[in-house]
Chains A and B, each alone.
Chain A
Amino acid sequence: MDSTVALMLAQDGLVVGAIYILLALGLVLVFSITRVIFIPLGELVAFAGLSMVALQGGTMPQPIWLLLCLGALCAAVELVAFFKPPRDGRHLRNALAYAAYPCALWAVFAQLEQRQLPDALQVLLVLALVVPLGSMLYRLAFQPVAEASVLVLLIIAVGAHFVLLGVGLLLFSAEGFRAQPLWDARFNWGEQPVSGQSLLILAVTLSAIALLYGFFRRTLTGKALRAAAVCRRGAQLVGIGTERAGHWAFTLAAAIAGVCGILIAPLTTIYFDSGFLLGLKGFVGAIFGGLASYPGAAAGALLVGMLEAYASFEASAYKESIVFGMILPILLWRSLAAGKPHGDEA
């Protein structure tokens, strides 16, 4: 392997790693605030990527039907809550919002069908479609059992993953699709060919990290979320609603998934079930940070991306084994570093 090849692989690893970084951050975010290992994150990535394909083709993005169904379910759940004493007007308002938003978005998509939209508008529409799915999933699957053990939450997350996988097959069919690149430019940096799309991925990842950092450090909501992550009971005592924190966490994670989906759809063929493996690799990265540290997770995810690039060059038959095999030494190192065994609620 000479330096040109090494650099090419590094570039490849960096781009793929950037996607894993975003996913790892999303997983850490959700886990630290709600203790849910958000396995369906990967499905949201695939949904976003395939919605992008649909919009580019001028058709109705299929997940709108999922949004309509989940919206109706959430509205029903909120209505039931409203009719239970003590009657709380908030539930009624929530129910209205859950029912109205998907319908409004559907109307927008119906208007735009068969039209070629500017890229920026397509990106916004995909996010408008995918981001609310996060909050709705939380409302339906996790909020009613927010105080359950990590294991129960994990089992629910796995269940949600299978449900979304089935829905994905129903919505998108079994075939794979590939989107047009958002930035179809090619540069030569020395001997290195660099594509516009990969620069875009790096730029978006860096700005997403900066935005998340700013959000958690500078805004009141961000600080409240951090408080909820550090100590749920303490946060509740000072008036930070853990339910709202949960909604925020899932919304942010869904936004991250949406961005990831839009970014990778032009890179590779996306299938209805492509997201799971991406999410799993993000998870390996997140484990590196103990599912708690953002810089640790980012470093781990970048390592996964790099390892994957070099492994695919050196020993492509064992690539996945190498990447997933990495989880063992990490767990060993983490449990040695932690010193004492963790309890269920650790």
Chain B
Amino acid sequence: MKNTLSYLALATMWILWAGQAHADITIGISLSQTGPSASLGIPQKNSLAYWPKEIAGQKLKLVVLDDASDPTSATKNVRRLITEDKVDIVLGSSSVAASIAMSEVASEGQTVQLAFSPIELPKGKGEWTYRIAQPVGLMAAAIVKRMQADKVKTLGFIGFADAYGETWLKELTPRVEAAGIKIVDIERFARSDTSVTGQVIKLIAAKPDAVFVAGAGTAAALPQTTLRERGFRKPVYQTHGAATKDLIRVGGKDVNGTILPAGPVLVAEQLEAGNPVRAAGLAYVSRYEQQYGADSRTQFGAHANDAALILQRIIPSALKKAQPGSAEFRRALKDALESEKDIVISHGVLNYSAADHFGFDQRGLALVRIDNGKWTLLK
């Protein structure tokens, strides 16, 4: 009896060990499933369910960790993923700060990181980091062009007092100046603020032709509702961070007419029939909304889906050079990322190169307007 038991135990261990050894490609994922960025991380986690079980005949093993929107935890997670789980590639994180923290460890461990957040890194850093979210500069250029068309001459800016708001201000300022638009007032607010009356009074006093709100999620509605409450009737522009259905839910009629740049996946149905992004976007959106209800799509969740689309392109070509679980394979993945042309994802078409780790172009962008609670694609 005793012997049987130990054989059984040995057999189980062997199966488990063998299972591990043959779990072909290991993918480490760190997402902000809790904490302040949970509204980004949760749809991303949900979208992982639509991943294929295998790519190019190789089984995928996903190790998903939560970093609680905290850069320190993100660092710990990615360290664990690289040293203990021996992953071939890391994905994440959802928010800017956590993604930046991960990039440091990823390049130390010579493992490709696909960041779900448009992080800016200093020159010489982030050799192994590739973003699958649009750079803020691309978005800023599009919205400034729209402002010019709307004949805006003076602009008021109110943004988050964090990395997100700062990045927008930095990307927006040179572009509006080049377009002959003057920023007449710069204000900050925080996601948790109960009131932005002070900032809004000052904005209105500066008499701008339009106001630009650089906030994310539902919190971006507060400056706009306060502006409307205080009688500001001129255009308000928002960013892609605010492009969620929740902005409309909380902002109600006060956010009507708002123009913002977004990922094309938000308006996948309205894209032209010939656009390759349309098919990729619809494939994701229809599955997600079937499970989570109409209009439940977010740009953030789509990033997790897009990661699988990218892997389907790069894994087959990397497999020709090396076997998973080796440093050569990780290097091959990086080479494949840079050599593959026109990777179609639900957010656009990617062309990474050694110099460009964003890879996006105009196809990764949609300018949308809120019309009575619906997104309308502006052509």
Contacts and interface: CB of A to CB of B under 8 A. Distances in A.
Given A268-B222, A316-B187, A320-B161, A175 B197 contact: no
A83 interface: no
Contacts of B327: none
Contacts of A173: 39, 42
Contacts of B158: 316
B199 interface: yes
A277 interface: yes
B198 A311 contact: yes
Nearest to B32: A174
A174 to B, nearest CB: 3
A268 B221 CA distance: 9
A267 B194 contact: yes
A16 B193 CA distance: 10
B198 A277 contact: no
A273 interface: yes
Contacts of B197: 8-9, 12, 309, 312
Q: Top 4 closest A-B pairs, CB basis? A: A312-B198, A174-B38, A313-B198, A176-B218
A202 to B, nearest CB: 14
Interface in A171-187: 173-178
Interface of B: 34-36, 38-39, 41-42, 158, 161, 187-199, 201-202, 205, 217-219, 221-222, 229-230, 246, 250
Contacts of B194: 16, 19, 264, 267-268, 278
Contacts of A317: 161, 188
A278 B201 CA distance: 23
A268 B220 CA distance: 11
A268 B161 contact: no
Interface string A259-280: 0000010011101011001100
Interface in A281-333: 308-314, 316-317, 319-320
B188 A319 contact: yes
Given A267-B195, A313-B199, 10 more contacts: A8-B201, A175-B217, A177-B250, A193-B229, A269-B219, A269-B221, A269-B250, A312-B196, A312-B197, A313-B201
A166 B38 CA distance: 11
A9 B218 contact: no
A72 to B, nearest CB: 24
Given A173-B42, A176-B219, A268 B34 contact: no
A309 B195 contact: yes
Contacts of B218: 175-178, 269, 271
Contacts of A193: 229-230
Contacts of A314: 198
B250 A178 contact: yes
13 contacts: A9-B198, A176-B250, A269-B219, A271-B192, A273-B36, A274-B192, A309-B195, A309-B197, A313-B198, A313-B199, A316-B198, A316-B199, A319-B161
A103 to B, nearest CB: 29
Contacts of A269: 218-219, 221-222, 250
B57 to A, nearest CB: 37
Nearest to B197: A12
A174 B39 contact: yes
Contacts of A5: 201, 205
Contacts of A311: 198
A173 B222 CA distance: 20
A343 to B, nearest CB: 34
Contacts of A273: 35-36, 192
Contact of B202 (A15, A19, A174, A313): A313
Contacts of B39: 173-175
Interface string A234-278: 000000000000000000000000000000100111010110011
A312 B246 contact: no
A173 B292 CA distance: 13
A333 to B, nearest CB: 26
A169 interface: yes
Nearest to A275: B192
A169 B38 contact: yes
Contacts of A274: 192
B250 A12 contact: no
Contacts of A310: 198
B195 A12 contact: yes
Contacts of A177: 218, 250
A312 B161 contact: no
Contacts of B42: 173-174
A134 B205 CA distance: 45
Contacts of A312: 189, 193, 195-199
Nearest to B204: A5
Given A174-B38, A269-B222, A316 B201 contact: no
Interface string A152-183: 00000000000000100100011111100000
B36 A316 contact: no
Q: With a 10 A CB-CB cut-off, give which of B189, B192, B230, B250 has the most chain A CB atoms.
A: B192
Contacts of B188: 316-317, 319
Nearest to B246: A175
A173 B219 CA distance: 15
Contacts of B189: 312, 316
Contact of B161 (A166, A175, A176, A316): A316
